[in-house]
């Protein structure tokens, strides 16, 4: 499918989320971070808000669950209409079963890895998911600097997907900006989450297109 840009509303104005979503109508996804204050040291929003965001978003909603017990809670986000639901390998009790439940509910299933979590233990799970999210910052807060140390893991993820002959997207999330997106694309990422680089720009739509062009040129 080529380069995809998924602006993170974590950097948007939470008092005006419908209008903030309209600012990125030219993006491929709207990235929604759900944090529970336990798996990560931050608390954002939950299922009722996401259900409403799905109804008003001009683009598909990409939910990233940074929560404990995703096996219990993740299917509800798919049932609410999120078109991609990503859960963390570190907190899922039965990741294969959960991925299959998400797919049965009509969503794409994503598997996320923290910066220190290696790819290799999860290579055999790749046929069960639609996307592998490699975190390029420690999850929990927006605006953190990009961790170049994660680039070799992005490369290994892309190589594993290619070796298996699968159509699994490789997403990167954290510190993505015009200064870093080319390195991530060169490493093999094809879906890019960007928060402050988009919502902190004077023209969010133009920022999306700039990121798309930079990544496409580097692929």
Q: Is the pLDDT score of 110 beyond 80?
A: yes
For the chain, which domains are there?
A: 4-218 (3.20.20.70)
Rounded CA-CA distance 137/166 in Å is 26
Which entry of 28, 62, 130, 173 is annotated as an active-site residue? 173
Q: Which tens digits make up the pLDDT trace of 52-70?
A: 999 999 999 999 999 999 9
What is the arithmetic mean of pLDDT over 130-150?
91
Whether 173 is catalytic is: yes
CA distance 52 to 77: 11
Please name the helix (run of DSSP H) or strand (run of DSSP E) that holds residue 208, with its range, or none.
helix 204-218
Residue owning tokens 């209409």 = 81
Residue 157 pLDDT > 90, yes or no?
yes
Query: Which pLDDT score is estimated for 175?
Result: 95
Place of tokens 């669950």: 65
User: How confident is the model at residue 69, as a pLDDT?
Assistant: 97
pLDDT at residue 219, rounded to an integer: 85
Secondary structure of 105-141 as H, E, C letters: CCCEEEEEECCCCCCHHHHHHHHHCCEEEEECCCCCC
Annotated catalytic residue, options 33, 36, 130, 190: 33
Q: Are strands 61-66 and 30-35 parallel, antiparallel or unpaired?
A: parallel
Question: What is the per-residue pLDDT across 95-107, written as a single tens digit (0 to 9) for each?
Answer: 999 999 999 999 9
């Amino acid at each position: 499918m080529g380069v995809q840009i998924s602006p993170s509303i974590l950097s948007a104005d939470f008092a005006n989320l419908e209008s903030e979503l309209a600012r990125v109508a030219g993006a491929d996804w709207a990235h929604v971070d759900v944090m529970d204050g336990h798996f990560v040291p931050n608390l954002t929003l939950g299922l009722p808000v996401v259900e409403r965001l799905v109804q008003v978003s001009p683009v598909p909603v990409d939910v990233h669950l940074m929560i404990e017990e995703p096996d219990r809670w993740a299917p509800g986000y798919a049932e609410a209409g999120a078109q991609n639901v990503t859960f963390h390998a570190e907190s899922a009790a039965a990741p294969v079963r959960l991925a299959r439940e998400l797919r049965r509910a009509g969503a794409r299933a994503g598997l996320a890895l923290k910066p220190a979590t290696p790819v290799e233990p999860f290579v055999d799970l790749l046929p069960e998911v639609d996307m592998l999210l490699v975190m390029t910052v420690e999850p929990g807060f927006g605006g953190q600097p990009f961790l170049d140390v994660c680039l070799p893991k992005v490369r290994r993820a892309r190589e594993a997907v290619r070796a298996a002959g699968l159509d699994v997207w490789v997403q990167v999330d954290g510190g993505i900006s015009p200064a870093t997106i080319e390195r991530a694309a060169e490493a093999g990422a094809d879906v890019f989450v960007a928060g402050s680089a988009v919502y902190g720009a004077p023209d969010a739509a133009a920022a999306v297109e700039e990121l798309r062009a930079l990544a496409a040129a580097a692929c």
